[in-house]
Amino acid sequence: MVGGAVGARILISYRMGSFVKQTDSNTSLTSKSNELPKRLPKFLVLHNEEGKLKNMSPFLIQKHIYTFAGNVQSVKKMKSGDLLVESSSLRQSEQLLSITKFGDIPITVSAHASLNYTRGVMSSDEFLMVSDSEFVSELEAQKVIAARRITLKRDGQIIPTRHVILTFDTPVLPKKITAGYISCDIRPYIPNPVRCFKCQRFGHTKTACRGSSALCPRCSEPGHEETICQNPEKCFNCKGNHASYSKTCPKWKIEKEIQSVKVTRNISIQEARKIVHDRTLKTNHSYSAALKTIKNPDTPLEPIQTPTDTIVPKPSTSAEKNEETITVKLSDWLALLKAHKLSLEKEKTNDKKQEFLKPAPKNKRPKKDHTNSTGKNSNVKTKSNPNKTKSQNKESESDLQTSDNSISEMELSEEETYLKPNLSAKFKSYITQRNDFQQGSRASGGVACLTSCQIPSKPILLNTQLQAVAIQIQLTRRITICYLYLPPRVHIEKTHLDDLIRQLPSPFFLLGDFNGHNTLWGSTDTNPRGCQIETLVEDHGLCLLNDNSYTHFHQASQKFHTIDLAICSPSLVPYWKFSTCTNLFNSDHFPIVLTYVKNDFPFPKRPVKYIFEKADWPLFESLCQLTPNMVDKDSIDVAVNTITDCIISSADNSIPKTSGNIPKLCKPWWNTECDTCQKTLEKAWYNFRRYPTTHNLIKFKKARAKFRQIGRRSMNTTWCSYVNSITRQVSSKIVWDKVRKIFGCYSDTQNISFLNYNGQVISDAKEIGNVIGQTLSEISSESSYPNDFIAFKKCEEQKSVDFLPSYAEDYNSTFSYHELKDALRKSNPTSPGPDQIHNNMLKHLGESSLLTILLLFNRIWQERVFPLSWLKAIVVPIPKPGKDKQDPNNYRPIALTSCLSKLLERMVSARLMHVLERSKWFIPSQSGFRRRRGTIDNLLKLETAIREAFVRKKHLVSIFFDIEKAYDRTWRYGILKDLSDIGLKGNLPLFIKNFLQTRIFQIRIGTILSDNFNQQEGVPQGSVLSVLLFIIKINGIVSKLPAYVHSTLFVDDIQIHCAGDDMGFIQRQLQTAINNMTDWASKNGFIFSPQKTVCMHFCRRRGLHPDPDFQLNGSPIPIVQETKFLGIIFDTKLTFRSHIKHLKTKCIRTLNIMKVLSSTSWGADKVSLMRIYRSLVRSKLDYGVPVYGSAAMSTLKMLDSVH
């Protein structure tokens, strides 16, 4: 939003830029590879038999080419000395093919063997029976010249897959093709690296190898074949402990990256290899040597491509430099607190005059359509109001909220927001970016923008003195949007405007209230500001989209002006249409709307969910009849799929679903009286526009005042009624839904941010998911462990862990119906997994259906087979608070797994916990998720030890440890080994062994799913068993502490402390404990974080006492004065002053809202207010009272005002 006038509103559905070229693989296409393409080729090779082109002057070459064909797209010299020319048109290709001489040098021109073709992969189950020749014949009209199905070889059999490699007779890979009646997506085909089967090197084949002897691909030694090799694995290329053909080899990954660059940029393999090698970090070089390799320090480094098949970042092309930005203005900031949608009537094109049409009645408003994949055009609104006061802010709310919701806005902007920096504002479904402006203590001017949470975006940091904000959003490509407000009667330096334009990535829109008059955009006169803007547009080669429509109404003089402008780069002009809204919405500026004329952008949707509040549960129970025949005949996987299909089909017929569309703005206060006043107001405004007399102006003002009065009264009445509905008679769920809305807690306030990955900006939603998925997969991969542990891990995993079958133990018996009901009762209504089964569905199944599920669980338990569909998870990335959203490492994965799987895990977890507690296997200091144990136990133990040290006038030193990626790096084999050491055997440990198989997950961004990724190590995210298995693995971390060192453990929150008179003794004891814990961690795959691990010295003795010095893996542990441990802030003197201040601040925020709910004349009843207070305020105060309650009375009095 930009402060100021009722400005521009932009409908955005945008796609621009040149094609992305795709290359062929290393292998030849077919016999056609040496022939000319059927169509005129784009890439041509100029060859001279004597090689004279190699020494020919580049100036002379350019002159000859220009003489024959004009300016071509590009010219490159190949390794052979020939010239590779890329033409810009078919006519130019024809002219180049006619060249026979460069002066007196004979030339032959031919099509390049591979660059004129592209390969893509099509995936579909519908074509499993279609042959390759049928693909070629049927798709010939779509430029397909070859097809090859990808096959797998398993147990000596060739298995066809759903993936087909298609070769296209065009350098531009199509995004889609139509095969029969099916529209299929085409993705680039990136071949695997070429490796010689003789010398094992990359880059050539066996037939072209110059090596003298063949090497074994397993051990890289000559003289024998791989089939009889018993030597340890050793890679010839990187000397690592793996075979030469392993895909984990760093050299293989580099070669794969080279193939990716080659395909993405449509260049030769030599050029791709040079690009990758130039940007790869070299080791064993000095800084000065590295600096010498940089030819131009000002030249930015090229981004590193990801060497995988799944992530193919888009190359930066010259077209991206011509991108353009969108800038828009919005009038009333406070009005947007409750309304973000403005109605836009269809503009009449026969008449150049703008007509202000009356909007449709409330019961006939058009609904927003999201059924089409292209959907509605998105929009950006802008408003400004230079004469707005605080009272007008409130009055404008009702005007803006009367608008229609027929247009889906991606960007909203407002100018002259009149907001102070300390005033926060939150908008549902939008992310806010502001640039507030103050003159002394008074807010003046200011700009702001709102970005839809459903659109990937990134704020642009501007170094300017102007009142401007900018943001980049991803539609079909990246677009920059800048919002600008230039106050009147203030001199604006031209250099400031020039600097702002230079900082905006192209293409861009620049919209705002410029307060400039010029006849070029419809004004009757031209002022100095208008001349300055005209010069700006001409100097930077920009275009003006305004169509001479008025954008401002000056009420004092009753005249219309055009001062709100929409400026853009030239390449955007053909795709965008300018218009203005017909209503002022209580401002003095009309909203501007820029509409994208092409419908090729699918508007984002939300995941479809079941509406359980409207479910017909009796119908669901009658439809979902699960029988034993569904589970006792087929395999486990088939049985699970049958049960899932039956539950989902029954739910589809008895439970309604959400549409997936972005919900419209809710206006519960609107009534028929508001509708009548709005019609009267619009009629008065229409009459004044046609006949601008004083009488009509007075009628318009009266109608506007009446509408404001009715709107304010209706909103106040509705608000009082809403708060009064919070009573003890309604269910707690309804109460808390209302309280969350009052507190502004919405689930869709996290936006999708661009990512910076390997120096490249990732903005496409699927690519963002792929990058985050790749990052999470790498964290849990074996390569993330230290090299020492990898060697130890491989040695240990050669020892098999056998859990012999046993039925004597009670924990191996079949599950009972009572266990199933107990686990179902404890299940929370969490989000469903990939199978879409919700716990609410399971809780409403009949007894016979639950017995069938129990039969399925017991079959899984006894046959010791874990369903494959339960090994998959959908991961929703949540940004970590206070961290950079553009770093893929700063996202917390929320994994959604099957609710059926979690139900069985809950039953298994109960048995496993019973066995561990009965055998007293847990160490006494572990309190995590144990019965009758909690965080207070550990807190009291530490607080008591500190108090005793103070009483005895001793020192106490405590170290608080932090484990890096603890859950993601848990050693799975180590868990099984611990279970074996416990003495478990039979069904229970075998179930856990199958449960810990390699997991598959996908990242979900909105409704878009990423590619599949593996989780090799770590406990599965989102599973019920994961926490208990992690506790089992971490249990031995404090088992070897010195006698004077004590510890507390709550899952992965580890703390050790030691007290004594002599600081040297304490230091020796704790350093020994640290070394023992580090040794244990190094043998179990855990890594302590030296930055987050802290030390505190608790002491009240007088005099100077040096702080201890501890080392953790060679790094010093920082000494801090206070730290948060299990939710309580400890300080060195144990005053708890910092904790109580922090607690008071949190409680006051909640109490401020409760004051609104407890109005004397209206508001929630006493019982409901007490319930809210106990849950939101008293619960915060009660936590840790036994610990911080020992603080001084003067400190505790700070909490008197909040309870």
Closest CA to 433 of 2, 838, 842: 2
Nearest to 408 by CA among 366, 458, 447, 348: 366
Q: Work out whether strand 8-11 and strand 592-596 pair parallel, antiparallel, or are unpaired.
A: parallel
Give me 582's structure tokens: 């017909």
Residue 625 is predicted with a pLDDT of 93
CB-based contact 419:434 (threshold 8 Å):
yes
What residues does each domain of the chain span? 8-14+408-596, 43-111, 118-188, 609-717, 927-971+1022-1134, 1137-1199
Paired with 459 in beta bridges are 471
- Write the DSSP string, 406-464: -SEEEEEEEE-----TT-----TTEEEEEE--EETTEE---EEEEEETTS-EEEEP---
222 CB-near residues (< 8 Å, 6+ apart): 213, 214, 215, 216
Helix or strand (DSSP H, E) at 494: helix 494-503
- pLDDT bucket at 900, cuts 50 / 70 / 90: very high
The pTM for the full model equals: 0.62
Characterise 1163 by phi-psi region: left (phi > 0), alpha (psi -120 to 50), beta (else). Answer: left
User: Per-residue confidence at 329, pLDDT binned at 50, 70, 90?
Assistant: very low
Query: Which of 88-92, 435-439, 671-675, 1137-1141 shows the lowest per-residue confidence on average (mean pLDDT)?
Result: 435-439
- Most confident of the ranges 198-207, 781-790, 1103-1112: 781-790
Least confident of 195-199, 305-309, 873-877, 1034-1038: 305-309
Q: Cα–Cα distance between 287 and 295 in angstroms, integer?
A: 15
**Choice between 315 and 505, residue whose per-residue pLDDT is larger:** 505
**DSSP conformation class of 788:** H
Contact 198, 162 (CB under 8 A): no
Q: Which amino acid is at 780?
A: S
Residue 319 above 60 pLDDT?
no
C-alpha span between 532 and 516 (Å, rounded):
8
CATH fold match for the domains 43-111 and 118-188: yes
Farthest-apart Cα atoms in the chain, separation = 106
Question: Is residue 224's pLDDT more than 90?
Answer: no
Rounded Cα distance between 595 and 1052, Å, is 53
Give the C-alpha separation, 198 to 252, whole Å.
16
DSSP conformation class of 198: T
Helix (H, G, I), strand (E, B) or coil at 1202: helix
Contacts 24+ apart (CB under 8 A), 1097-1100: 1097/955, 1097/956, 1097/957, 1097/1132, 1098/946, 1098/949, 1098/950, 1098/955, 1098/956, 1098/957, 1098/958, 1098/1132, 1098/1133, 1098/1134, 1099/949, 1099/955, 1099/956, 1099/1132, 1100/950, 1100/953, 1100/1133
Judged by average pLDDT, the poorest of 108-117, 368-377, 578-587, 789-798 is: 368-377
**Range of weakest confidence among 53-57, 246-250, 449-453:** 449-453
Q: pLDDT tens-digit profile of 908-936? A: 999 999 999 999 999 988 998 888 889 99
The helix (H) or strand (E) run that includes residue 1128 is strand 1128-1131
- The answer to whether residues 70 and 93 touch, using CB atoms and an 8 Å cutoff, is no
Q: Each residue of 16-30: pLDDT tens digit?
A: 233 333 333 333 333
Share of the chain above pLDDT 70, in %: 80
CA-closest candidate to residue 280, choices 252, 249, 304? 304
Helical H segments across 875-958, by residue range: 899-918, 935-951
Residue 332 pLDDT exceeds 60: no
Query: In the predicted model, what is the mean pLDDT of residues 541-567?
Result: 85
What's at 221, amino acid-wise? E
Among the listed ranges 540-554, 581-595, 874-888, which one has the minimum average pLDDT value? 581-595
User: Which residue(s) pair with 177 in the sheet?
Assistant: 184
When the candidates are 3.40.50.150, 3.30.70.330, 2.60.40.1120, 3.30.450.40, the CATH number that belongs to 43-111 is: 3.30.70.330
Burial 94-124 (b: 16+ CB within 10 A, else e): ebbbebeebeeeebebebbbbbbbbbbbbee
Average pLDDT value for the chain: 80
pLDDT of residue 666: 65
Q: Does the domain made of 927-971+1022-1134 have the CATH classification 1.10.3470? A: no
In contact, 570 and 541? CB cutoff 8 Å: yes
The whole-number average pLDDT for the span 587-593 is 83
Q: Which helix (H) or strand (E) holds 1152?
A: helix 1137-1157
Q: Is the pLDDT of residue 340 over 50?
A: no
CA distance 64 to 714: 78
Q: What is the dihedral of CA 403, 405, 410, 416, to 10 degrees?
A: 10
Q: What is the pLDDT of residue 654?
A: 95
Residue 165's H or E segment, with its range, is strand 157-168
| Measured distance CA(1201)–CA(1203) in Å, rounded | 6
Q: Which helix (H) or strand (E) is 470 found in, with range?
A: strand 467-474
Task: Reply yes or no on domain 118-188 having CATH 1.10.3470.
Answer: no
84 vs 266, higher pLDDT: 84
Among 212, 242, 271, which residue's Cα sits nearest to residue 76?
A: 271
846 contact partners, CB below 8 Å, separation of at least 6: 621, 624, 625
**Burial zone of 1102 (CB within 10 Å; 0-12 exposed, 13-18 middle, 19+ buried):** exposed
- Token code pair at residue 791: 């060697």
The values of phi and psi at residue 206, to 5°, are -65, -35
The answer to whether residue 292 scores a pLDDT higher than 60 is: no
What is residue 882's predicted lDDT score, i.e. its pLDDT? 80
Sequential DSSP letters for 885-899:
TTSGGGEEEEEE--H
Contact between 998 and 1014 under an 8 Å Cβ cutoff? The reply is yes
As given in the structure block, the two tokens for residue 656 are: 């309604």
Between 519 and 806, residue with greater pLDDT: 519
pLDDT tens digits along 368-418: 333 333 333 445 444 444 344 334 444 444 444 444 444 455 565 556 666
Q: What would the DSSP string read from start to end of 499-518?
A: HHHHHSPSBEEEEEE-----
Q: What is the pLDDT of residue 1149?
A: 80
Q: pLDDT value at position 744?
A: 59
Considering the domain delimited by 8-14+408-596, tell me its CATH architecture. Answer: 4-Layer Sandwich (3.60)
> What gap in Å lies between CA 683 and CA 679, rounded to an integer?
6
Cβ atoms of 411 and 452 within 8 Å: the answer is yes
Nearest to 787 by CA among 1041, 1060, 510, 1087: 1087
What DSSP string runs through 1033-1096?
HHTTTTTT--TT-EEEEETTEEEEEEEES-HHHHHHHHHHHHHHHHHHHHTTT--B-TTT-EEE
- Coil vs helix vs strand at 1126: coil
Residue with tokens 């953790």: 1112
CA distance 957 to 1108: 8
Q: Which residues on adjacent β-strands are paired with residue 256?
A: none
Cα(42)–Cα(116) distance, integer angstroms:
6
- 550, 592 Cβ separation under 8 angstroms: no
Residue 1165 has a pLDDT of 74
What pLDDT is stored for residue 1195 in this prediction? Answer: 92
Q: What are phi and psi of 574, to 5 degrees?
A: -65, -15
Give the separation between CA 129 and CA 148, rounded to whole angstroms.
Answer: 13
Say if CB 1138 and CB 980 are below 8 A apart: no
pLDDT of residue 905: 95
Q: Can you give the pLDDT at residue 43?
A: 86
pLDDT in tens, 831-865: 899 999 999 999 999 999 999 999 999 999 999 99
Mean pLDDT value of segment 770-799: 91
Average pLDDT over residues 856-884: 91
Backbone angles phi, psi at 121, to 5 degrees: -115, 130
Instruction: Classify residue 376 by its DSSP letter.
Output: S
943, pLDDT greater than 60: yes
Q: Which two tokens stand for residue 581?
A: 């809204």
Q: How far apart are CA 901 and CA 857, in angstroms?
A: 9
Give the C-alpha separation, 1018 to 1027, whole Å.
Answer: 11
3-state secondary structure 47-106: ECCCCHHHHCCHHHHHHHHHHHHCCCCEEEECCCCCEEEECCCHHHHHHHHCCCEECCEE
